[in-house]
Structures are given as structure tokens and as C-alpha cells.
Structure 1
Amino acid sequence: MQNVNLKMSATTYHKSVVYGLISLLAIPVIATLVYSLSQRWGATITPDGFTFDWYLQLWQDPRFIAAFGRSLLLCFISLAVSCALIIPTIFVVFYYFPRLDSWMNLLILLPFAVPPVVSSVGLLQLYADGPIPIVGTPWVLIGTYFTIALPFMYRALANSLQGINLRDLMDAAHLLGASTPRAFVSIVLPNIRKGLLASLFLSFSFLLGEFVFANILVGTRFETLQVYLYNMRQTSGHFTSALVMSYFFFTLFLTWLATRFSR
């Protein structure tokens, strides 16, 4: 009986800690949501009224729609390039040259070792002039976004490949008459699908919120969602709160999609 009581008290304590943490994290989100729906909220504790006008104003703004579309386009192209380069590379590393994995782990840490501001200054000096003047164009963002997505995708795919017996699977496929490319497409890719989807959605949500590279390298010449948010910071706080919540709900929808696909 005493053990049962101790177990119940421990369960209650753990639940209270989890619920308390969730409540603490939810407070700023709920406050931003209420502020985005309020007509006016100044001297009083509660808003004067609620309205959807700020969301209607936001989603009827052609500049916002264009910035949102540019961000989505950049994310899709960057992730497509990342998949085309990283997936074959990690397969070659794990199947043919497994000793290179330690060097690859060191390589993928470089984007985190160099601050984005420092990288942006270097890219400005390198690509502002010369034979490839791509500063101010979306092409420079696609290249930088690839370096941002590289650590997330490589680490997630590496964990997935470590969870399967890659060499035995490939040997079995070869014994059954499959070529290496066909075995890779038919056997390896389905086994790493969950890791690939998780890395894609994580990278997408991170790239969609990227600001430093987009603001320094391109700015308003190819205005993305975060640059638009930065440029609209002097407008009404209700309007910017509606923008933040729209971004939050879109990211939440992507997370739900990732969960559904994983199942």
C-alpha cells in the first residue's frame, strides 16, 4: 500500500511539473494571440473588444502574400537541392567509406561554429562583385540555406542509417539480383523515410524563420517573410502579433503534418 501511494505521488509530481512547464510556455503564445484579436488593449487589464480585422488586413496585403510566397519558394528549392546532394552523399559515406563519418560530423558543425553575421560579411565580399555577383538575388540564399539544412538533415539521416543494418540489407538485395541504385531506392530510402521527413520538416521550419542571411544578403530586393516582419515592426502591434501568430499556426500545421506522415 505504501509503495502504491509513493508511486501515485511520484506520478502526480511528474504530471504537475510537465503541466506547469507547458503552461509557462503557453503564456506568451496565448497573450500574443489575444493581443492579435483585440481591437484596443492599452490602459485596461482586458482588451476593449475582439476582432479579426488585423488578420484580414494581413492576409489582404499583397506585400505579405508575396513575401510569404518567396519564403516558401526558397525553402522548397533549398530542401530539394539538399535532398539531391545529401542523401546520395550519406549513402556513399556509410556504405563505401564508413570511416569518413567522423570527418563528416566535424564538417557539419562548421555552420554552427561560424556566426551568421560573420558568414554574411564573407559572402558579401565574395559574391558582391567578381565573376558571380549573386548578392541581392535568391541564389545566394539558396546556397546559404543549404548550409543551414545540412547539419539537421545529415544528423537525422545518419541516425536512421545507424538504426538499420545497411551492409546486410544491400548484400541481400545484391544476392536477389538488385543493382545498387535499385536497392538504394527500393530498400534504403523506405527504411530512412521517417528520419528524412523529420529532418525536412525541422529544416523547413528553421529556414522559414531565418532572418540574418536574408536581411544582410538580400534585404528588400527579395523580401522574405522575416524581413517583412522586421520592416513592419513600426506598424500596429496588433498587426505584427497577427503576423507572428499566422507564422506560428503555419509551423504548428507543419508539425502536425510531420506527425501524420511519420505514422
Structure 2
Amino acid sequence: MVGRFSEGSVSARYGRSFVKLVLVLTLVFLAFPVVMTFLSSFASDWSAVFPTGFVTFDHWSDVIYGTDIGADVAVGSSLAYSTGLALGGVIINLIVGVPIAYAIARYEFWGRDWVNVFAILPLAPGIILGIAFLRTYPDLSTSGIALIIGYSLLKAPYMVMAVQSSFQSMDLRQLEESARSLGASWPRTFLTVIVPNAKTGIIAGSIISWTLAAAEFNFSYIVYSRGTPPLAIFLYNNITNASFLNAAAAVSIFFLLIALVTISLQIIGNRGSFRRI
């Protein structure tokens, strides 16, 4: 009894602190390279252990205007183009993925488990899907439409899983019956009752899908041929053809873009753009 009590006391006293320490060390380990990369983008030199010569915006200027690698397209055009492509993929995922997640969570039907498996499993790696597009749709693959479709196919599982989780935490039958008893049609019930109550999963799925689509390299590298490059290709050109500090500035721009989109979507959700009843 005494031994068990002592062990329990030690576990209660130091167990939580140990877990917190492990979490903090893990977070620091993962975040440190990102922080150092961002800080180094404002340094003039990094030949020693740490970057030196703060603060300069020359590397950011080189990336923004494409002067360091002789790029024909500035980062602003690439960001806008890639943002639109990723957004198009997210819209397709919303139109297709949300109803699929709802059907899986709400109804029992033949083949439901198979639909669930195919909905949440990645269709194919980006490089394989890109080669398939080139072989099957050679004309379509040279346009941005192929990138949008490819992004949506590759990231659809993340949208379905996030939204399905929200649907499964709700009593869908009771919500539907309550809305229908008040005279709402089924489409109105779905759009004004079911969807707003799943806004957490929808926003999370949108953030994940957009972020991964904007950073998708394998599919973009195979399919992209000419014109304004997607962001992943632009970053690749900067990283491979520029100095390390300019590469750090290019990556930092992507970090800021991801943070801006994530915060914007969270603000939209918190302000009640999806009105729940």
C-alpha cells in the first residue's frame, strides 16, 4: 500500500510537469528551424553558426521582384495565381466533399463503408496523378484547370474527414426533424441548419486543403508547362537558383501567406458568416 501510494504521489507530482516539458521541447524543436529561416531572411550573411548583419530587406526585394534569379514573374503574380488555383480546388472540395461527408455521417446505405474508404484515402500521389493527367488529357494539362482539378482530388480527403467529424458530433436526424417541422424545405434545412452547425469542420478542412494545395509541388511540377508558375514552382526556382538567404526570404513569404489565410478564415468563422440556429 505504501509503495503504491508513493508511486502514485510521484506520478501525480512530476507526471504532468514531465508531459509539459516534453511538449515544450517538441514544439521548440519543430519551430526553431522555421524561426531561424524567417530571421535569416533579414540577415546580410550567414557564414557562421548564426546569421549576422541585421536588418536588411535586400533578399525580400530580390524575391519579390525576381532580380536574383532573373525571373520573368514577380512573387506577387505567382502568389495571386497560386492562391486562385488553391481556392478553386477548395471550392470544388466544398461542393463535393461536404455532401459526401454528410451522406456518410447521416445515412445507412449499401456500399457506405466503401464510399467512406475512397473518400478519405488519397486518390494517388501527386506525381502519379500528374503523369496520368498528362497522358489522359494532354490539352487540358497545359491550363490552370488541370491544376485546380488536381488540387481538389489530392486534398479532398482532408475536407471530407474534417467535415465528417463535425457531422458525426451532431444529432443530424433531430436537427433535420426540428427544421422540417418549422416548415423548412430539405435544401433550406441543409444549407441554413446543417452546414452552419458544421462550420468548425468546414473551416478546418478549408484551411488544410488550401494550405496543402498552395504548397503542392509534385503535381504542379509535372503538370505546369508555361505562363505564371504556381507558388510551389516559384519557391523551387528561388531555392535552387538563388542564395540560401534569398531562399529563406522566399520560404518566409509562403509562411506569412499561410498565416494570413488561416487567420482570415478563422476570423470569418468567428464573426458568424455561418449563422447557426
TM over 0.5: yes
Given the alignment, which residue of 186, 194, 203 partners 2:192? 186
Amino acid at match of 1:250: L
Amino acid at match of 1:218: Y
1:47 Cα deviation after fit = 3.3
1:80 Cα deviation after fit = 1.4
Aligned partners of 2:134, 2:224: CA distance in 1, in Å?
10
Aligned to 2:217: 211
Query: Given the alignment of the two structures, is residue 45 of structure 1 paired with residue 49 of structure 2, yes or no?
Result: yes
Where in structure 2 are the equivalents of 1:17-56 lying within 5 Å? 17-42=22-47, 44-50=48-54, 51-56=56-61
CA contact 2:101–2:161 (8 Å) conserved in 1:
no
Query: Given the alignment of the two structures, is residue 115 of structure 1 paired with residue 92 of structure 2, yes or no?
Result: no
Aligned residues: 257
1:7 Cα deviation after fit = 2.6
Aligned partners of 2:183, 2:26: CA distance in 1, in Å?
54
1:30 Cα deviation after fit = 2.5
Query: Given the alignment of the two structures, is residue 145 of structure 1 paired with residue 151 of structure 2, yes or no?
Result: yes
Task: State the secondary structure of the residue aligned to 2:210.
Answer: helix
CA contact 1:160–1:192 (8 Å) conserved in 2:
yes
Percent identity of paired positions between Structure 1 and Structure 2: 25
1:70 Cα deviation after fit = 0.8
CA contact 1:220–1:227 (8 Å) conserved in 2:
no
Change beyond 3 A, Cα 1:16–1:95 = closer
CA contact 1:149–1:203 (8 Å) conserved in 2:
yes
Aligned partners of 1:99, 1:196: CA distance in 2, in Å?
26
Aligned partners of 2:120, 2:184: CA distance in 1, in Å?
36
CA contact 1:90–1:154 (8 Å) conserved in 2:
yes
CA contact 1:141–1:217 (8 Å) conserved in 2:
yes
1:257 Cα deviation after fit = 3.9
Aligned partners of 1:109, 1:191: CA distance in 2, in Å?
21
RMSD over aligned CA atoms reads: 2.3
Aligned partners of 2:206, 2:38: CA distance in 1, in Å?
27
Pick which of 204-213 and 74-83 moved more. Answer: 74-83
Given the alignment, which residue of 169, 176, 182 partners 1:170? 176
TM-score, L = length of structure 2: 0.83
TM-score, L = length of structure 1: 0.87
1:258 Cα deviation after fit = 4.6
Change beyond 3 A, Cα 1:54–1:100 = same
1:171-210 deviation per Cα after TM superposition (whole angstroms, max 9, x unaligned): 2222221110111122101111111010000111110100
CA contact 2:63–2:74 (8 Å) conserved in 1:
no
Task: State the secondary structure of the residue aligned to 1:70.
Answer: helix
Aligned partners of 1:183, 1:49: CA distance in 2, in Å?
60
Change beyond 3 A, Cα 1:48–1:161 = closer
CA contact 2:77–2:228 (8 Å) conserved in 1:
no
CA contact 2:214–2:231 (8 Å) conserved in 1:
yes
Structure 1 runs not aligned, ≥5 long? none
Given the alignment, which residue of 64, 72, 84 partners 1:59? 64
Task: State the secondary structure of the residue aligned to 2:224.
Answer: helix
Aligned partners of 1:90, 1:10: CA distance in 2, in Å?
39
Amino acid at match of 1:82: N
Aligned partners of 2:91, 2:62: CA distance in 1, in Å?
33
Aligned partners of 1:223, 1:191: CA distance in 2, in Å?
38
Amino acid at match of 1:37: F
Aligned partners of 1:11, 1:95: CA distance in 2, in Å?
39
